[in-house]
Amino acid sequence: MKPNEGEMTLELEVLKWDGAGLIPAVVQDAAGEVLMVAYMNREALTETLSTGFGTYYSRSRREMWRKGETSSHRQKVLELRLDCDLDCVLLRVEQLGGACHTGHYSCFYRKVEDGKLVFTA
């Protein structure tokens, strides 16, 4: 494949927003650790791209969620990818502090082992 084959200008409307106007966003750090999954609306994606910091839409609070606005645990975006179906975003970020509201670095701090949910180191 030639380097720029299929290159296209990103238009918000090419993304497959769900019925609520949202798209899931997976967030991982530079080392590959998955930190969290959140949701973006058009405004959040636009703001993430323009500011360079992870911005989401909080489904529970029903408002824009500028990650780290109150905790200072911001996410500096290193790269933003889209999947084949254009229905999911992948962010690679530099995570300041922890990503999880529980204080853990990653929200995925529990694993399933022998039918039990156990804390990881």
Residues that bind its own copies (CB under 8 A): 1, 3-10, 14, 24, 26, 28, 31-34, 36-37, 49, 79-85, 88, 90, 100-102, 104, 107-112, 115-120
Shortest reach from residue 18's CB to its own copies, in Å: 10
Cβ closest to its own copies, residue 15 vs residue 96? 15
Is the four-CA dihedral 52, 53, 59, 63 of positive or negative sign? negative
Cβ closest to its own copies, residue 1 vs residue 72? 1
Shortest reach from residue 62's CB to its own copies, in Å: 16
The 10 Å CB-count burial string (b at 16+, else e) for 62-101 is eeebbbbeeeebbbebeebeeeeeeebbebbbebeebbee
